[in-house]
Structure formats: C-alpha cells, structure tokens
Amino acid sequence: MRWTSCGRVSPSTVAERAVPLASVIGTSYIGGRVLSGAVEPGTELRDLDFEDCRIEGATLELSVWRRCALDSCTLVGVNLSRASLIDVRLADCTMRDSKAQAVRWSGVRAGGLAPRSVTFEACRLDYGSFAETDVRGMRFVRCSLVEADFGGADARAVEFVDCDLSGARFTGADLRGALVVGATGLGLDVREARTAGLRVDPGGALALVDALGVQVVDGPGVGDRSVEGDGSVGERDR
C-alpha cells in the first residue's frame, strides 16, 4: 500500500505512530511507515531502501548515507545539514519545510523511471554543492539556495520557482530547457553555461541582461544617443 500524505500532522500524533529512525539502522528495507526522531552526528545509514515512507521532524545533521535508496518518500521538517550522501538514489521524492545546508549532493543520483528524482519545497539549501552532479528534472520551489554551486552540473529541465539564488554559481552548467520564475538574486552569465531553451520570466530576463553588462533603458532621451562603430556613445544623426 502506498503512503498518502494528508497534510501536516501534529508532533504528538507523529510521535505516537512513528518508528524511531535510529531503530531501522542495520536493516535493509522499510516501506509504508512514518519515521521520526534523531540520530547521533556521524551515524551511518548503509544499504537501506526506503519505499513510500514519510520522514517527519527528524534530526539527521552530520549523518552519513551510503548506498541508500528513497523511492516515493516524503521528508518534512527534517534537518539534513552537513550530511554526507554517498551513492544515494532518489526517485519521485519530496522534501519540504526542511533544512539541508552545506550538503554535497554529488553522491545523489536519479533512480528508476520516475520523471523527477526530488522536489524541494520551502527548504533551506544554502551553501550546498550540486557541482558536476546530474540534477536533471529536479524542482526547487520557494527554496533558499544562497551561495549554492551548480558549476558543471547537468541541470537540464531543472525548475527554480520563487527561489533565492543570491550568489549561486552556474559556470559550466547545462541549463537547457530549465525554468527560472520569480527568482531573486539570479546572477547567471549566459556566456558561461549552456542555456538553449532556458525559460525565464521578465524579471529573470532583466537579471540575465544585467549580468552581461547591458543596460535596458526606457524613457525620454533614449533616442538622443547612439552607439558608434567603435563602441563609443555619440549623438544620433538627425
């Protein structure tokens, strides 16, 4: 039976029915369960498959995930900051209202035939590294990605919706077919990434133009000056 989320539940309700996350360490499979609780920093979760699970309010900071798989799982209110992800497979997962700062995502890969490996909603993903990582089809909604590094990432068809991208780096990234809507702090230089088919809203388009050093002007006097052949600005011939 597949787990169906019915919205947020109170912490007391979760505590009554949840399986302590620490208790599944050492097992190989868990399906259709609610998991909660905390693990000690440095705890390693190894060779463990989660299917149709909901991980709620768990503290996983500085944990180590090795050869794990999460299929159709939901993570809510989780702290995954500074975790180490090593050969972790994600398929059709959602993480919301969570914190995963300073995480190196290069050990994550998409799994199965799911159209999307993971959707992040209202998460703090600041200072994370997606560099040289296959993040195709990932979706970021209302997330903070301050100083995140997407350098060299395969980010085709990635979606950034209402995200803070202040200081995020995209040098060498493949952003073909990606979507950027309602983003703040976008500083992408399109000369340094593959951007064919990149879709942006008007605000994003202005940010891209600004990154190129081009000014968009509108108003009185716009037509009074022209750019000469040598690049200097002179009076327009009348």
Rounded CA-CA distance 125/171 in Å is 19
Classify 183 in phi/psi space as left (phi over 0), alpha (psi -120 to 50) or beta. beta
Report how far residue 145's alpha carbon sits from residue 100's, in angstroms, rounded to the nearest whole number. 10
48 Ramachandran zone, left/alpha/beta (phi>0; psi -120 to 50): beta
Half-sphere exposure of 121 (CA within 13 A, CB side): 9
What is the pTM assigned to this prediction? 0.82
Stretch 63-70: mean pLDDT, rounded? 97
Whole-number pLDDT of residue 215: 77
How do the domains of the chain map onto residue ranges?
24-115, 125-215
CATH topology of domain 125-215: Pectate Lyase C-like (2.160.20)
Per-residue pLDDT reduced to its tens digit, 130-181 = 999 999 989 999 999 999 999 999 999 999 999 999 999 999 999 999 999 9
Q: Which two tokens stand for residue 100?
A: 């995963």
Output DSSP code: residue 210: H
**Three-class HEC string of 172-190:** CCECCCCEEECCECCCCCH
Residue 114's pLDDT is 64
Domains 24-115 and 125-215 share a fold: yes
Burial class from Cβ neighbours inside 10 Å (0-12, 13-18, 19+) for residue 21 reads: buried
- For domain 24-115, the CATH class is mainly beta
At 12 the pLDDT is 46
